[in-house]
Amino acid sequence: MAGLRDIAGLGTPQPAGSLDRVLGWDVLRGLCALGVALYHLLYWQGLASLNTLGSYGVYLFFVLSGASLAYNYSGRLSGPRDAGAFLLVRWLRLAPLYIVVCLVVVAVLVLHSGQPVDQLLLRLVLNATFAFGAYDPATWALAIGGWSLGIEFAYYLAFPLLLLALPRRAWCAALALAFCVLQWIWIVRTVGSPAGYAASSVAYHQVPAFAAYFFGGCVIGHWRRTNFRALPLMIGVLAWVLMTGLLLWLNPARQGDELLGARGAALFCACFAVVLVSGQVSVGARLAPVARWLGDITYGCYLIHPVIFFGFIWFVLPRLAEFEISQAPFAFKCAVLVMVLVLSCLTAAASERWFEAPLRRWGKRRLGHQGRPARAPHIDAASISS
């Protein structure tokens, strides 16, 4: 059985050919984070409603998370001790920045409204532990986008069991089919109900709604361990451009319609296709730092951009102008969009370098003290949720 030191990535130096970051996935997850931020900033300012970008930008994170975890952990979790260490490492990856953002969100809300946050202590406990993912995550999450992290952590709890099915083709296929059917039923009964998306949003954003994405990503990651084709970078660029074009082309006028019918089926399949291709892309030494940077800023950009935007329009804009953001000139809105994106990326990069990464290293050293030294793969910590 691998020790805690294995799971923390603290073993002896890696041998040649050991697992490492998949830079194509880093690029894709960075693009997804920027896409989600762009969707929010366009929508909040009344510029556009790119519903497909907002929805599938997040769903791709679930696929990428499952792929990264299976790629790094397949065959390495062999008991309750390993599973416990795995969950500690995953919590340490998500919690520090998320807790800080939640505290900032609470302060911003209180300063803006002058009212205390309802059930604050309970909310803080649920968010710090990600336990809110088990029930109405869209309601209990303090940070915008936090609902996906609660659901993600629920998948982490099941991940050691899901790993057991990956090498067994029959079990793997059966689980994949079951998750797809479950997800389809869930969407039809919530978003596809007569009540519509707005009334069914809370009921829709639950663990079963995205399980097929996460497990499908696990299948891709497990396959990627022994099947690397070294596709040219241009193939990856083409895949990313085509995915963006597909999202824009299939964007519906009404929110929620991007999940239904032939449009939903096409975009569902496209998510797996682009992750599969991205995992095969060979990123050269010149562009490797860019790919790593995109991976590193993903999580912070995803969480931080709403704080910067609402902090600006609630506290800074009233001192600069007499109009609200919805009434601002088009050029001003574009400038705000660029400013928020740039500040979010810079803040995310700083957080990763001087806050998140040092805390992860400290935590892994602490875990390493409890286990025995052993060889371990590099843990891909460049995902929004993995």
Give the pLDDT confidence of 301-338 residue by residue, as tens digits. Answer: 999 999 999 999 999 999 999 899 999 999 999 999 99
Q: Which residues contact 183 (CB under 8 A, 6 or more apart)?
A: 208, 209, 210, 211, 212, 213
| Confidence band of 375 (pLDDT split at 50, 70, 90) | very low
Residue 252 in any domain: the answer is yes
Indicate whether 13 belongs to any domain.
Answer: yes
Token digits of residue 213: 């994405």
Mean pLDDT score of the chain: 90
| Residue 56 placed within a domain | yes
Q: Is residue 242 part of a domain?
A: yes
Q: Model-level pTM?
A: 0.91
Report pLDDT for 131. Answer: 97
Residue 374: inside a domain, yes or no? Answer: no
What does the pLDDT look like over 218-241, one tens digit per residue? 999 999 998 998 999 999 999 999
Say whether pLDDT at 377 is over 90.
no
Domains contained in the chain, number: 1
- Asked, for residue 385, whether it belongs to a domain, the answer is no
Please list, in sequence order, all residues whose beta carbon lies within 8 angstroms of the beta carbon of residue 218, skipping any fewer than 6 positions away.
Answer: 66, 67, 69, 70, 159, 162, 163, 166
Residue 382: inside a domain: no
Task: Find tokens 């596709």 and name the residue.
Answer: 231
Write out the two tokens for 203. Answer: 């009921």
Cβ(200)–Cβ(255) below 8 Å = no
Is residue 234 domain-resident? yes
Stretch 331-348: mean pLDDT = 98
- Asked whether 41 and 309 are in contact (CB, 8 A), the reply is yes
Using one digit for the tens of pLDDT, what is the confidence trace for 49-62? Answer: 999 999 999 999 99
> Of 4-8, 74-78, 292-296, 300-304, which gets the smallest average pLDDT?
4-8
Residue 233 domain boundaries = 4-368
Q: Which two tokens stand for residue 288?
A: 């490797």
